[in-house]
Amino acid sequence: MPGREQLSRWLLVLLLGQLSVRALVGGAALLTAPAGTLVGLPPGPLDNTPFDTFLVPGLVLFVVFGLTAAVVCYGAYATRRWARPAAVGVAVALLAWVAVEVSVGFSRPTVLLNVGTGIGVLGLVALQRRQ
C-alpha cells in the first residue's frame, strides 16, 4: 500500500530531522559554552565521567546525532538503500547515549524525547521492512 509506505518514510524523515536539529543546536551550544551555561546544564552529571566540561559530549552530540542524523534524514527522504540500516545505527547509538546519560545521573526531559525518538526510528524501519 503506497500510502502507508509514504507515511512511514515521512515519519522517519521527521524523527531524524528533529533529532538532527536538536543535536546541532544543543551540540553547538555546548561547544560554544562547554560549562553548559547556554543550555542550563548543571555540572553535577560530569562528576561521574572523565570530563571536566561538556566539550566532548557536545562534539559527539553535534557530529553523531546532528550531522550524521542529517545525512541519514536525507537518505530516508531520497529513499536511498543505505538509509534504513543507517537509521538503525543512529537509533541504537541514541539509545546507548541515553543509557550513559541516565547512568551518570543526567535527568532532563530530553532523555524521554530521545528514548521515544530511538524507539520510533527502530519501529518505523521495522515497519518499512515489512511493507
Q: Is pLDDT of 1 > 60?
A: no
pLDDT on residue 2: 62
Give the residue among 58, 24, 22 at the shortest CA–CA distance from 41. 58
CA 29 centroid distance within chain: 16
At a CB cut-off of 8 Å and minimum separation 6, what does 5 contact? 128, 131
Give the residue among 116, 125, 97 at the shortest CA–CA distance from 12. 125
Tell me the residue type at 5. Answer: E
Q: What CA–CA distance (Å, rounded) separates 32 from 30? A: 5
Q: What is the pTM assigned to this prediction?
A: 0.91
Helix (H, G, I), strand (E, B) or coil at 61: helix
66-84 pLDDT per residue, tens: 999 999 999 999 999 999 9
Q: Looking at residue 51, what DSSP letter applies?
A: -
Cell of 15: 524523527
**Between the CA atoms of 116, 119, 123 and 126, what dihedral angle is there, to the nearest 10 degrees?**
160
